[in-house]
Amino acid sequence: MTAAASQSAGQAATLRVRNLRVDYFTDAGRLRACDDVSFELGPGQRLGLVGESGSGKSTIALALMQMIRPPGKVGGQVFVENDELTAMNDAEIRSARMRLIGMVPQAAMSALNPVIRVRAQIADVLQVHEPSLTSAQVRARIAEVLEAVELRPEVANLYPHELSGGMKQRICIAIAVALRPKVIIADEPTSALDVVVQRQVMDTIGRLQREMNIAVILIGHDMGLMAQFVDHLAVMYAGKLVEIGPTRELFARPTHPYTHMLISSLPTLGQKGVFRGIPGITPSLLALPSGCYFRTRCPHAMPVCTERAPETTSHGSDHASACHLADVEGGLAGRIAIEAGSATVRAGGFE
Amino acid sequence: MRLTYVFQRVVLLLAIMWMAASINFVLPRLATGRDPIRERILSESARGGGATNIGMTEMVAEYRKQFGLDEPLPKQYVTYLWNTLRFDLGKSLSNYPKPVMRLISEALPWTLGIVTASTLISFTLGTILGALIAWPRAPRILQYTVPFLLTLSAVPFYILGLILIYFFAFQLKWFPIGGGYPIGTIPAFTLAFFGKLVYHALLPSLSMILASTGGWALGMRGMMVTIQGEDYMNYAEAKGLPDRRIFFGYAIRNALLPQTTGLALSLGHIVAGAGLVEVVFGYPGIGSLLGESITRFDYTTIYGIVFFLIVSLGLVLFILDMLYPLIDPRISYE
């Protein structure tokens, strides 16, 4: 699937992912956790990556960082500007991590080494990637990045267990931006935090990202958070990218039934009714259905869906999806209208 | 660390020592129907050939007086505690009238030297080996050592000792069969004598090192495997740190915490000697002394050694408790 999320055609993309594949070779067989994923990200863009648990979101994060370990195997290409991460050797990729492509970890609570001080944990990133720094410079940089994430410089002298969850996540953000990388992957950075702290942490990420013009991939399954934070949205299902496009457009005119169902499952204020989910569960990667992987849960499944996997179809300059409904008159919106038996076309129902 | 905690801990240590001493006092007095003095005199007189009972009662009474056994129990207890406080553990029954303290202090240096060295060597070797076995980017060949380590750690010290003696001392005659130093030499602080000491200590140490390295290695390997699943290990990888740094600063640093506790515990046990290893090698340490005392029903010496063991274990744990906040910042006494 090739869908360009990059709006600026003339400018080189910050992150280019081409036909990314991650296979795990297990005793039970080959498991494709990430299937032919391609997308691009321009400088300063925010891309949200959503999907159910096990849809391959975090696998993509690990694959982008080149951190898939055996029995996993990565295929395809990942470029950050002109550097191809997939072609680097071990030493090169280690030096690229955090310098070209940073990461805010999913489990900030336990991502810091419990037995060494925060200062040492920020300092080791600086020292490893910029060996020319003097200890005074390292000290100054640590104070600087802590200030950037709204923490007092004394926090550097504490141990991780002396910090709150929000503070730990801020430390991780400080480490992620310390070397001003081109891209930051934030893998559910707020999943363990309460909503107030969640909001503050997201504001901090957003502000730093704007100031430093860093491209961000935000991974998560909170569609509400996504709607507020990202400008582009990519929807994953069973390792495949099923739809990608500008957030507003995706919410207003989803072209894949899965996207539509994800959006419809959001609770809305003032509108009482049955809380709608998506029936069924994600298929096992070891026993995927033929044709389209989503057809077993899709309310609009057609005979063709069992026969072959849908091709990626473009729905505008940077909006694309992989669904057989693209070949049907009226597309998904038309289908919904017919099935609802009404003339009004309610594509997203977000308003 | 707060002073009140140190104070509490010292009080606890003293309480443990007092309890250990009290149990040592009570236990032998619980044995009913047997009078160690009477039995001792009987066996002595039998050995002397004079199987006579003349003056027996008087002799027993005299010795009872000498040991203070004719006093009321509470008074005996106070005297006993006071003596223990002065490290006077009474006189040995089988080596009468040699004080138990003398016996122990003669044997202790031998044991301390050989067991401390072997424990530290096997701890270091085992920990490094275990860490490398569990590290995916370490040489794969190390993983083939696991079955050997498992086998060795399952073989008791003394069996290994016997095997070593048979091959290296008896068949090949590379090492002496036993003893702490050659018979006929006088212990002295010379380099030549030190060389002989090491030569005699090699085989018993080897049997201890071989038998316990496996245990340390397997423990460390388990910890390293657990730690590699921790989020901070993945994050260290994402930070782009060099493998060496992650290995030492993140993996080993954390895996070492439980290992250290294990090391402290086994250092506390050193005073008990290497037990049967010393017996097998005829090494003049505490282990041999304990073995001898048991075969000769030398109660005072046995109790003395046990008391020493409890005290040293208590001391080592006290020291460990005081040092632990330094190696694990999550532990603090406030």
DSSP letter string, B300-317: HHHHHHHHHHHHHHHHHH
Mean pLDDT on A129-151: 91
Q: Which residue in A106, A124, A128 has the most chain B C-beta atoms within 10 A of its own C-beta, making it the best mutation to test that interface?
A: A124
Distances (CA, A) of B33 to B29, B69, B312: 10, 15, 33
- The answer as to whether A274 is a domain residue is yes
Whether the ipTM is more than 0.85: the answer is: no
Compute the distance between CA of residue B224 and CA of residue A299 in angstroms, rounded to an integer.
49
Compute the distance between CA of residue B96 and CA of residue B43 in angstroms, rounded to an integer.
14
- Amino acid in the structure at residue B161: G
- Amino acid in the structure at residue B61: A
- Determine contact: A345 vs chain B, CB below 8 A: no
Query: Which among A295, A297, A320, A318 has a CA at the least distance from the CA of A308?
Result: A295
Closest residue of B to A172, CA-based? B235
- The answer as to whether A140 is a domain residue is no
At CB < 8 A and 24+ separation, what contacts does B169-173 make? Answer: B169/B203
- The answer as to whether A294 is a domain residue is yes
| Total structural domains within chain A | 1
Enumerate the H helices of chain B as residue ranges. 3-30, 36-47, 56-66, 73-85, 100-134, 146-154, 157-164, 191-228, 231-238, 243-245, 253-268, 276-281, 286-295, 299-327
CB-nearest to A67 from B238, B242, B328 is B238
- The answer as to whether A275 is a domain residue is yes
Beta bridge partners of A48: A218, A233
Share of chain A above pLDDT 90, in %: 25
CB atoms B239 and A124 under 8 Å: yes
| Mean pLDDT, 10 residues at a time, chain B of 334 residues | 82 89 80 68 68 72 78 85 82 78 86 88 93 88 85 82 84 77 70 78 85 90 92 90 91 91 84 74 84 80 84 86 84 74
CB-nearest to B239 from A110, A125, A161 is A125
Which range of residues forms the domain containing residue A275? 250-340
**Other CB atoms closer than 10 Å to residue A341's CB: what's the count?**
6
B308-B207-B320 Cα angle (round to 5):
40
Secondary structure (DSSP) of A93-125:
HHHHBTTTEEEE-S-HHHHS-TTS-HHHHHHHH
CB atoms A125 and B240 under 8 Å: yes
CB atoms B240 and A114 under 8 Å: no
CB atoms A114 and B254 under 8 Å: yes
Distances (CA, A) of A48 to A98, A222, A243: 20, 10, 12
B258 to chain A, closest Cα gap in Å: 13
Enumerate the H helices of A41-151 as residue ranges. 57-64, 90-96, 108-111, 118-129, 135-148
- The answer as to whether A172 is a domain residue is no
Is A288:A239 a contact under the CB 8 Å cutoff? no
- Determine contact: A128 vs chain B, CB below 8 A: yes
Query: Which among B280, B311, B296 has a CA at the least distance from the CA of B179?
Result: B280
Collect all residues with Cβ–Cβ distance below 8 Å to A62 and sequence separation of at least 6: A22, A68
Higher pLDDT, A276 or A287: A287
Fold of B107-299: MetI-like fold (1.10.3720)
Is A192:A23 a contact under the CB 8 Å cutoff? no
Chain B residues in contact with A116 (beta carbon < 8 A) = 249, 253
B305 to chain A, closest Cα gap in Å: 39
Residue A10 confidence (pLDDT) above 60: no
CB-nearest to A113 from B232, B238, B257 is B232
Give the H or E element holding residue A172: helix A165-177
Domain residue ranges of chain B, discontinuous segments joined by +: 107-299
Token pair of A348 as six digits: 């997203």
What pLDDT was estimated at residue A2?
40
What pLDDT was estimated at residue B161?
82
In this structure, are strands A101-104 and A3-4 parallel, antiparallel, or unpaired?
A: unpaired
Distances (CA, A) of A30 to A73, A346, B69, B154, B327: 10, 40, 81, 39, 44
Secondary structure (DSSP) of B221-256:
HHHHHHHHTSHHHHHHHHTT--HHHIIIIIIIHHHH
CB-nearest to B239 from A106, A110, A175 is A175
CB atoms B330 and A69 under 8 Å: no
Q: What is the pLDDT of residues A30-68, one digit of tens each?
A: 888 888 888 989 888 999 999 888 888 888 999 999 888
Residue A261 confidence (pLDDT) above 80: yes
Distances (CA, A) of B152 to A98, B169, B177, B218, B220: 45, 20, 22, 11, 16
